[in-house]
Amino acid sequence: MNKIGTKPQVAGDETLLRPAFGWAFLPIALLFFTFFALAVSSPVFGAGKPDPKVIGARVAGDETRTRFVLDMNTQVTPAISGLAKPYRLIIDLPEVEFSLPEDAGSSGRGMVTNWRFGLFAKGKSRIVLDLSGPVRVDKTFFLPAVDDQPARLVLDLVRSAPEEFASFVEESRGIAKREAQKTKTKTDKLPPSGSGDKPLIVLDPGHGGIDNGATGVGGTLEKAIVLDFANLLREKLEEAGHYDVRLTREDDTFVSLSRRVEIGHELEADLFISIHADSVRRGRKLARGATVYTLSDKASDQLSEELAEVENMSDVIAGVELDEEPTEVTDILLDLAKRETRSFSSYFAKTLVTELKSAVRLIKNPHRSAGFRVLKAHDVPSVLVELGYLSNEHDEKLLITEEWRERMASAMSEAIHGFFRPRLARQQTTPSQ
Ligand SMILES: [Zn+2]
């Protein structure tokens, strides 16, 4: 129950405004009204509804019945949906603050193998439970706060059959999709595209929100350092004054891979640079140094193949339904466009490697390729840069130093100047109309 439910009625009590008091009394009445309204909404009075916060979470139970509990400071309404391949349960909440220990979710219990949480989009937070198999949500309920017990959101899961889970997925995703459609126009507005004459560069800091990306040995989060780096690179490029620069995300929000590609395409970007600092499982000691990746159907080597696989999992981690890969249309014009884009991407990758060589440590064979979904725009030259690998402790230490970041960003902006130099030179010699 909301304890403040009665207070606004006191403030708005008709008796205060009854004409019998005379019009002269009105300003005082309004003053009172304002005071009460402020009092009710002010946290100082402890009466306003606080910003929702998750203050604890736990999983209990076994392989037949598992309970997931969130301790909260206030009541929120969850929307629950499912996804298969792999089995996941998605709990969508209005934007909440997660005040949880760093390792929360890293291990589960019963049918929940592990879980993660974070900002999914503006105004929307998400929790994804990874499941050991198909489940049915037996009960969902909210327990209000009592005495020293916080409010609790409780989900009871029981084992179910794959077919039952499949129909739950279909039903729940249908609702989720309609909701997403409703909000799409509100949240997916693009920043205005550039002035037209300047080359437009889209920087794409990887991961974000619920998708942390890699975590370094020393605890560095990939999603945080790549965003910082993208901001630094944007600053450098904007200083030069020759480019319009856009980021696919400006904060710690999740952006799906297809949305990232769409942003580059819709803005008609001249260059798309995805920025990462991933972890590799195989050869983690050897894999270190900056690497530039371009798109290819067949990976150039095993490490690149593994990396693209991990990268392409981003949407799965965030509980986003994978878009159907568009069926290849045999269109000779599209084919030509693709081929041209790929050769521009390759040319930029080479320019970038040359520039990076003299500035930072590179991996052996620094221009590699694999099937990264984020590089699939057919009309935007795209590369993915691994600043280094967070699975390597030396790389992790480097990546967080100011000096290294400066050198890396300067070298990258030099390469970008090199790539656009012919176009900029042409613009300078052509008198403007
Ligand atoms: Zn990454």
DSSP structure string for 381-413: -EEEEE---TTSHHHHHHHT-HHHHHHHHHHHH
Strand order in the sheet with 112-121: 79-83, 88-94, 124-131, 112-121
- CA of 353 from ligand 1 middle (Å) equals 19
pLDDT surpassing 80 at residue 260: yes
Question: For the residues 408-412, what does the mean pLDDT come to?
Answer: 97
pLDDT of residue 61: 94
Percent of the chain at pLDDT above 90? 62
In a domain, 99, yes or no: yes
pLDDT band at 190 (very low <50, low <70, confident <90, very high): low
- CA of 200 from ligand 1 middle (Å) equals 23
- Are residues 167 and 111 located together in one domain of the fold? yes
Place of tokens 């045999």: 330
pLDDT surpassing 80 at residue 384: yes
- Are residues 319 and 228 located together in one domain of the fold? yes
Cα separations in angstroms, 209 against 1, 75, 268, 326, 382: 32, 22, 26, 27, 23
- Are residues 221 and 161 located together in one domain of the fold? no
User: Torsion-angle region of residue 213: left (phi > 0), alpha (psi -120 to 50) or beta?
Assistant: left
pLDDT surpassing 60 at residue 31: no
pLDDT of residue 3: 33
Tokens of 331: 């269109």
Question: For the residues 13-19, what does the mean pLDDT come to?
Answer: 31
CB 66 within 8 Å of CB 110: yes
pLDDT of residue 58: 94
Residue 133's CATH number: 2.60.40.3500
pLDDT surpassing 90 at residue 291: yes
- CA of 205 from ligand 1 middle (Å) equals 9
Q: Which residue has the higher pLDDT, 283 or 134?
A: 134
Percent of the chain at pLDDT above 70? 80
- CA of 276 from ligand 1 middle (Å) equals 4
- Are residues 297 and 156 located together in one domain of the fold? no
CB 279 within 8 Å of CB 390: yes
- CA of 213 from ligand 1 middle (Å) equals 5
Which domain does 13 fall in, by range?
3-36
Question: For the residues 180-187, what does the mean pLDDT come to?
Answer: 54
Lowest mean pLDDT across 40-49, 83-92, 159-168: 40-49
pLDDT of residue 44: 41
Give the distance from CA 81 to its chain's centroid: 19
CB 281 within 8 Å of CB 232: no
In a domain, 180, yes or no: no
Residue 355's CATH number: 3.40.630.40
- Are residues 368 and 423 located together in one domain of the fold? yes
- CA of 232 from ligand 1 middle (Å) equals 18
- CA of 66 from ligand 1 middle (Å) equals 32
- Are residues 394 and 299 located together in one domain of the fold? yes
Count Cβ atoms below 10 Å from residue 126 Cβ, excluding itself. Answer: 22
- CA of 206 from ligand 1 middle (Å) equals 5
- CA of 88 from ligand 1 middle (Å) equals 21
- Are residues 170 and 277 located together in one domain of the fold? no
pLDDT of residue 257: 94
pLDDT band at 133 (very low <50, low <70, confident <90, very high): very high
User: pTM for this structure?
Assistant: 0.78
- CA of 365 from ligand 1 middle (Å) equals 19
- CA of 77 from ligand 1 middle (Å) equals 32
pLDDT surpassing 50 at residue 174: yes
- CA of 279 from ligand 1 middle (Å) equals 8
Q: What is the SS3 string spanning 220-234?
A: CEHHHHHHHHHHHHH
Question: For the residues 314-335, what does the mean pLDDT come to?
Answer: 72
- CA of 389 from ligand 1 middle (Å) equals 9
pLDDT band at 192 (very low <50, low <70, confident <90, very high): low
Question: For the residues 293-317, what does the mean pLDDT come to?
Answer: 92
- Are residues 134 and 11 located together in one domain of the fold? no
Q: Which residue has the higher pLDDT, 86 or 34?
A: 86
pLDDT of residue 261: 94
- Are residues 265 and 363 located together in one domain of the fold? yes
Residues 148-158: pLDDT tens digits? 889 999 999 99
In a domain, 189, yes or no: no
- CA of 388 from ligand 1 middle (Å) equals 10
pLDDT surpassing 90 at residue 387: yes
- Are residues 268 and 386 located together in one domain of the fold? yes
pLDDT band at 240 (very low <50, low <70, confident <90, very high): confident
In a domain, 156, yes or no: yes
Lowest mean pLDDT across 12-21, 299-308, 381-390: 12-21
- CA of 307 from ligand 1 middle (Å) equals 8
Count Cβ atoms below 10 Å from residue 411 Cβ, excluding itself. Answer: 19
CB 81 within 8 Å of CB 176: yes
pLDDT of residue 330: 63
Strand partners, 276: 386
Cα separations in angstroms, 94 against 1, 75, 121, 279, 398: 19, 11, 10, 31, 37
- Are residues 153 and 205 located together in one domain of the fold? no
Lowest mean pLDDT across 18-32, 91-105, 310-324: 18-32
Q: Which residue has the higher pLDDT, 98 or 240?
A: 98
Number of domains in the chain: 3
Tokens of 191: 């920043």
